[in-house]
Structures are given as structure tokens and as C-alpha cells.
């Protein structure tokens, strides 16, 4: 009898799950997994700040703020998906990760680019620069 029960349990594990899930269920399981992370603080914060958006029946997208967050999610891709696939009972779940277009465009590399980005957020900086005759090198 033990051999038969082992075969039955193995067949259940091999079964492909295809249950539908709602965006709210995805969000709840995403947050629950993030909260369970004790050592991976950066990953935890990324997951709590960059929430998944269900695109179709089995695919969701996560829009992150920078390439470091993107890499962190991609490095943990298999772990995240394995938990979500079990919890949501769907073996076909796929995750896409991309950096926000707004943040891609708004990265300053030179001092001048950084200053221009800061003046977009605070006009007073430009006025101070002009008032005191400051130059950026």
C-alpha cells in the first residue's frame, strides 16, 4: 500500500495547476511573501514598494524604479514564482520586470544633468544659482 500512496502523491505533485486568480489574490500573496523575507531587506522593500500588475490570465508585470531593483527581482525570480505558483495554484504564472520609463529618462549622470533634474523639482535652486553666479563643473 505504501508504494501506491507514494505514486498517487507524486502524480498530484506533477499535476499542472491552472486555477484563475484575481489581481487582489496576487497582490495579497506578493505582500505575504515579501513580509516573510527576514534577511533580504532590499528585496523585501522592493516588493512592498513595487507591486505586481496582472496583465493577462497568467502573466503579471512589476515596474521598478531603478536597475538595481530590477536585478534584485530577477535574481530571485525562481523563488518568487515558485511560491506564487503554489499559493495561487497556477503553474503557468510568469513575471515580467521593467524599469519605469519616467525613471529611465530622469537619471542624471553629469553634474549639469543632476542639477537640471533637481531644478525641475525645485525652482529655487536655479534662482539661487543665478543670484550667486554659481557655475557647475
**What residue ranges define each of the domains in the chain, with the CATH number in brackets?**
2-104 (3.30.300.180), 107-137 (no CATH)
Kindly report, residue by residue over 46-65, the tens digit of the pLDDT. Answer: 999 999 999 998 899 999 98
Say which residue the cell 529611465 belongs to: 104
Q: Alpha carbon of 78 to those of 26, 47, 74, 125: distances in Å?
A: 16, 15, 8, 45
Beta bridge partners of 54: 60
Q: Model-level pTM?
A: 0.64
Report the distance separating Cα 127 and Cα 136, nearest Å.
14
Residues of the chain with pLDDT under 70: 1-14, 103-109, 137
Report the distance separating Cα 54 and Cα 25, nearest Å.
10
Amino acid at each position: 500500500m505504501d508504494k501506491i500512496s507514494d505514486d498517487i502523491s507524486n502524480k498530484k505533485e506533477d499535476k499542472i495547476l491552472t486555477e484563475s486568480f484575481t489581481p487582489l489574490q496576487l497582490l495579497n500573496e506578493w505582500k505575504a511573501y515579501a513580509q516573510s523575507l527576514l534577511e533580504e531587506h532590499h528585496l523585501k522593500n522592493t516588493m512592498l514598494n513595487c507591486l505586481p500588475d496582472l496583465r493577462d490570465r497568467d502573466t503579471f508585470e512589476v515596474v521598478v524604479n531603478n536597475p538595481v531593483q530590477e536585478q534584485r527581482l530577477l535574481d530571485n525570480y525562481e523563488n518568487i514564482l515558485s511560491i506564487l505558483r503554489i499559493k495561487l495554484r497556477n503553474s503557468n504564472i510568469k513575471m515580467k520586470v521593467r524599469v519605469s520609463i519616467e525613471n529611465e529618462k530622469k537619471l542624471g549622470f553629469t553634474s549639469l544633468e543632476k542639477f537640471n533634474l533637481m531644478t525641475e523639482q525645485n525652482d529655487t535652486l536655479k534662482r539661487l544659482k543665478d543670484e550667486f553666479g554659481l557655475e557647475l563643473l
